[in-house]
């Protein structure tokens, strides 16, 4: 199968000028990412569609919301997904948060080599951010399932205010307490015929 680094129509306006940097990240994932165990062995096209294009939709959501929130955290970032693609196409400062120092070390090496000053990596417990931060944007692709996130948020409603959680999801999104949360699910193409889902959860 030939590799086709396509960008869907919804992402061309903010991605085309950053294609070289996105491809550089793609190459790092398929080489260093696989060798160091940051990701499992995947095809070039899978890495592009699922890790690059999928991540770019997180940025499109924030762009469309036109929110005033500017603190962006990628919780449980692993290999920098979705935070690095988001940061490549965004002017916002993005902090990649992960509990494992080995991951942070590899991420810092990539960021320094590719001159991405708006993106930083921090070794920390992501759950502390859920407990203590407010007025922030949290990106999550694989950190915890949405239902587990909701339970954590319910425990910290008095300290966790005006936060926006953008989280990869499945098609069967459950109804949530509308007095506490506003949830909107978005469906989008990652290539010509495959759809993915992201939930946008606002803590009121």
Structural domain total, the chain: 1
How would you write the chain as a 3-class SS string?
Answer: CCCCCCCCHHHHHHHHHHHHHHHHHHHHHHHHHHHCCCCCCCCHHHHHHHHHHHHHHHHHHHHHHCCCCCEEEEECCCCCCCHHHHHHHCCCCEEEEECCHHHHHHHHHHHHHCCCCCEEEEECCHHHHHHHCCCEEEEECCCCCHHHHHHHHHHCCCCCCCCEEEEEECCCCCCCCCCCEEEEEEEEECCCCCEEEEEEEEEC
Confidence of residue 96 (pLDDT cuts 50, 70, 90): very high
> Is residue 1 domain-resident?
no
Nearest CA among 74, 116, 129, 79 for reference residue 96: 74
Query: Which pLDDT score, from 0 to 100, does residue 160 have?
Result: 57
Percent of the chain having pLDDT more than 70? 90
CATH of the domain at 152: 3.40.50.150
Confidence of residue 181 (pLDDT cuts 50, 70, 90): low
186: left (phi over 0), alpha (psi -120 to 50) or beta: beta
Contact yes or no for 80/144 (Cβ under 8 A) = no
Confidence of residue 88 (pLDDT cuts 50, 70, 90): very high
Query: Which pLDDT score, from 0 to 100, does residue 101 have?
Result: 96
> Is residue 94 domain-resident?
yes
pLDDT one-digit tens code per residue, 154-172:
766 555 567 888 998 876 5
> Is residue 68 domain-resident?
yes
Indicate whether 190 pLDDT > 80: yes
Query: Which pLDDT score, from 0 to 100, does residue 171 have?
Result: 60
Distance CA 103, CA 42 (A): 18
Higher local confidence (pLDDT), 144 or 8: 8
Contact yes or no for 55/82 (Cβ under 8 A) = yes
Query: Which pLDDT score, from 0 to 100, does residue 47 have?
Result: 96
Higher local confidence (pLDDT), 112 or 178: 112
**Positive/negative CA dihedral, 170, 175, 181, 182:** positive
> Is residue 78 domain-resident?
yes
> Is residue 148 domain-resident?
yes
Q: What is the mean pLDDT of residues 106-112?
A: 96
The parent domain of residue 182 ranges over 9-203
Indicate whether 19 pLDDT > 90: yes
> Is residue 137 domain-resident?
yes
Query: Which pLDDT score, from 0 to 100, does residue 83 have?
Result: 97
Residue 92 makes CB contacts below 8 A (sequence gap 6+) with 70, 72, 118
> Is residue 43 domain-resident?
yes
Q: Work out the mean pLDDT of the chain and round it to a whole number.
A: 88
Percent of the chain having pLDDT more than 90? 57
pLDDT one-digit tens code per residue, 23-74:
999 999 999 999 999 999 999 999 999 999 999 999 999 999 988 888 899 9
> Is residue 4 domain-resident?
no
């Amino acid at each position: 199968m030939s590799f086709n680094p396509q960008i869907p129509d919804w992402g061309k306006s903010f991605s085309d000028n950053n294609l070289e940097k996105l491809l550089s990240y793609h190459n790092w994932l398929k080489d260093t990412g696989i060798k160091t165990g940051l990701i499992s062995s995947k095809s070039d096209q899978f890495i592009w569609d699922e890790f690059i294009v999928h991540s770019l939709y997180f940025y499109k959501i924030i762009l469309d919301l036109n929110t005033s929130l500017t603190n962006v955290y990628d919780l449980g970032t692993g290999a920098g997904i979705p935070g690095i693609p988001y940061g490549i196409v965004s002017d916002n400062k993005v902090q990649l948060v992960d509990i494992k120092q080995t991951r942070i070390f590899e991420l810092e090496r990539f960021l320094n080599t590719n001159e991405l000053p708006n993106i930083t990596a921090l070794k920390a417990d992501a759950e502390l951010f859920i407990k203590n931060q407010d007025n922030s944007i949290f990106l999550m692709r694989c950190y915890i399932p949405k239902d587990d996130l909701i339970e954590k948020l319910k425990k910290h409603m008095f300290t966790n205010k005006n936060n926006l959680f953008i989280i990869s999801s499945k098609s069967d999104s459950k109804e949530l307490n509308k007095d506490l949360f506003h949830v909107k699910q978005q469906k989008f193409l990652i290539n010509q015929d495959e759809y993915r889902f992201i939930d946008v959860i606002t803590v009121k």
